[in-house]
């Protein structure tokens, strides 16, 4: 039996919606889970807009705004939204939060960028950030630097989650960007995560074990190379010690 072009397009739309409704990336799913229901969300560096499409298809957000600095990703985002017939998501070309006006959205997600870039973006848009109720950040690097930055601002850390996705580990933070007294996190908490140390999810334990193996290997290479001095070696030893503390079983009560 021949299927009309309209019916074929409808079938393809349903198929596309089903595909997006099951986000293949655990990383993106974790970011999505940190968005509060009913939010108006700007996704910075939206790329293919899969995150916003999923949130809208699931009825999790009121509206979405996908922002990307490059035209190519926005073209792909338009194809995603058209294929899934996703409504309530608009797209805008621009650099970071600079194309937002204060109060336009209540939530901003930034995922998949370096930590230093995330910090620069947020710091450059203070007027926008002070009107937000939530920031959801998933930097690919510089986790300790991002925690120091968050602690210095005294922002409220609602969630700190770790996920292993396709062999890599990612940290996702949900933050209320309201200024307050600086957080008094310890060095262990700054390097490993205050809530991760408290809650001990399985992915965090797996990361600790992998990180300890990586540091042990680096220390062995340093010993084979001969006596080594300097800040890098001291930092490696300090990191090995904090990982050992984190991996040690809790004392008997």
User: What's the CATH code of the domain at 93?
Assistant: 3.40.50.150
Residues 136 and 230 in one domain: no
3-state class of 167 per DSSP?
coil
Residues 60 and 175 in one domain: yes
Sheet of 156-165: strands edge to edge? 89-93, 61-68, 39-44, 107-111, 134-138, 168-176, 156-165
The band of 116, judged by pLDDT with boundaries at 50, 70 and 90, is very high
Tens-place pLDDT, residues 233-245: 888 999 999 999 9
Residues 11 and 82 in one domain: yes
- Total number of domains in the chain: 2
Calculate what percentage of the chain has a pLDDT beyond 70.
87
Over the chain, what is the mean pLDDT? 90
Residues 18 and 76 in one domain: yes
pTM of the model: 0.88
- Return the pLDDT at 23: 63
Residues 118 and 233 in one domain: no
Strand pairing class (61-68; 89-93): parallel
Residues 220 and 121 in one domain: no
Residue 251 tokens read as: 């004392």
Please give the residue range of the domain that contains residue 233.
207-247
CA-to-CA dists, residue 87 to 17, 25, 62, 72, 132, angstroms? 12, 22, 10, 21, 23
Instruction: Look at residue 223 and tell me whether its pLDDT is greater than 80.
Output: no
The answer to whether residue 192 is domain-embedded is no
- Return the pLDDT at 180: 86
Residues 91 and 10 in one domain: yes
Specify the residue for token string 């959205």: 105
Average pLDDT over residues 109-129: 97
Residues 213 and 109 in one domain: no
Return d(Cα 54, Cα 84) in angstroms, integer.
10
The answer to whether residue 194 is domain-embedded is no
On whether the CB atoms of residues 133 and 36 are closer than 8 A, the answer is: yes
Instruction: Look at residue 78 and tell me whether its pLDDT is greater than 70.
Output: yes
Using a 10 angstrom Cβ sphere, with 0-12 exposed, 13-18 middle and 19 or more buried, the burial of residue 36 is: middle
DSSP H or E run through 107? strand 107-111
The answer to whether residue 197 is domain-embedded is no
Residues 118 and 214 in one domain: no
Residues 216 and 158 in one domain: no
The answer to whether residue 252 is domain-embedded is no
Average pLDDT over residues 131-151: 97
The answer to whether residue 201 is domain-embedded is no
* Beta-bridge partners for 169: 164
Residues 121 and 211 in one domain: no
Residues 165 and 227 in one domain: no
The answer to whether residue 188 is domain-embedded is no
């Amino acid at each position: 039996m021949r299927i009309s072009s309209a019916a074929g397009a409808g079938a393809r739309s349903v198929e596309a919606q089903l595909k997006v409704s099951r986000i293949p990336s655990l990383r993106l799913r974790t970011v999505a889970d940190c968005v509060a229901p009913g939010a108006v969300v700007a996704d910075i560096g939206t790329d293919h807009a899969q995150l916003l499409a999923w949130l809208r298809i699931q009825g999790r957000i009121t509206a979405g705004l996908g922002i990307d600095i490059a035209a190519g990703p926005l073209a792909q985002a338009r194809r995603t939204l058209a294929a899934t017939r996703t409504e309530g998501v608009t797209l805008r070309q621009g650099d970071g939060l600079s194309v937002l006006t204060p109060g336009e959205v209540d939530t901003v997600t930034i995922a998949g960028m370096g930590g230093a870039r995330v910090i620069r973006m947020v710091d450059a848009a203070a007027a926008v950030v002070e009107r937000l109720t939530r920031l959801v950040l998933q930097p690919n690097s510089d986790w300790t630097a991002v925690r120091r930055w968050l602690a210095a601002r005294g922002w409220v850390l609602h969630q700190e989650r770790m996920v292993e996705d396709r062999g890599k580990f990612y940290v996702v933070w949900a933050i209320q960007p309201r200024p307050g007294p600086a957080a008094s996190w310890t060095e262990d908490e700054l390097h490993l995560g205050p809530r991760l140390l408290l809650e001990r999810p399985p992915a965090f334990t797996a990361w600790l074990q992998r990180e300890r193996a990586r540091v042990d290997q680096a220390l062995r290479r340093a010993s084979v190379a001969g006596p080594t001095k300097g800040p890098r070696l001291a930092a490696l030893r300090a990191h090995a010690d904090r990982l050992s503390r984190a991996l040690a079983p809790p004392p008997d009560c």
